[in-house]
C-alpha cells in the first residue's frame, strides 16, 4: 500500500508540475503572439505613412516643377529648394520621372527675361 501511495503521489505531483509548466508556456506564447501582431500592425502603419509621404513629395515636386516651367525661369534659391526636395525624395529610394522633369528646370534661365519695358 505504501508503494501504491508513493507511486500515486509521484504521478500526481509530476502531473501538477506539468500542468503549471504548460500553463506558463502557453501564456508566454500568447503574449509573444500578441506582441508579434502588434509589431506587424505598426509596420503596416509605418509603410502606409511612408507611401503617403512619397505621394505628397511627388505631388509637391510636380507642382513646383510645373510652376517654374510655366514661369519660364528658376532662381538659384528656387533651384536649391527643389534640390532639397529631390534629395529627400531620392533618399527614400523612390524613382520615377523626376530626373527628366528636373533637367527641364535646370535648362531654364535664372532670372526673368527682360522684354524691354
Is the four-CA dihedral 81, 82, 87, 93 of positive or negative sign? positive
Is position 112 within any domain?
no
Residue 114 resides in a domain:
no
Report yes or no on 9 lying in a domain: yes
In a domain, 24, yes or no: yes
Residue 115, domain member (yes or no): no
In a domain, 117, yes or no: no
Indicate the number of domains in the chain: 1
Would you state the pLDDT for residue 116?
45
Residue 117 is predicted with a pLDDT of: 43
In order along the chain (117 residues), what is the average pLDDT of each group of 10 residues? 78 82 90 94 95 88 94 94 90 80 91 62
State the Cα–Cα distance between residues 115 and 117, nearest whole angstrom: 6
Write down the pLDDT at residue 71.
94
Q: How far apart are CA 39 and CA 80, in angstroms?
A: 38
Has residue 70 been placed in a domain?
Answer: yes
Give which of 108, 100, 112, 102 is closest to 81, Cα–Cα: 102
Range(s) of the domain holding residue 28: 2-106
Does the residue 42 lie in any domain? Answer: yes
Residue in this structure with the C-alpha cell 506539468, named with its chain if needed: 18
Amino acid at each position: 500500500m505504501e508503494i501504491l501511495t508513493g507511486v500515486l503521489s509521484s504521478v500526481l505531483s509530476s502531473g501538477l508540475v506539468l500542468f503549471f509548466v504548460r500553463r506558463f508556456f502557453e501564456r508566454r506564447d500568447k503574449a509573444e503572439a500578441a506582441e508579434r501582431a502588434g509589431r506587424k500592425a505598426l509596420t503596416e502603419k509605418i509603410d502606409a505613412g511612408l507611401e503617403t509621404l512619397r505621394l505628397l513629395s511627388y505631388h509637391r515636386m510636380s507642382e513646383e516643377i510645373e510652376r517654374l516651367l510655366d514661369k519660364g525661369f528658376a532662381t538659384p534659391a528656387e533651384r536649391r529648394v527643389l534640390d532639397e526636395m529631390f534629395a529627400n525624395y531620392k533618399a527614400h529610394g523612390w524613382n520615377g520621372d523626376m530626373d527628366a522633369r528636373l533637367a527641364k528646370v535646370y535648362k531654364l534661365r535664372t532670372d526673368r527675361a527682360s522684354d524691354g519695358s
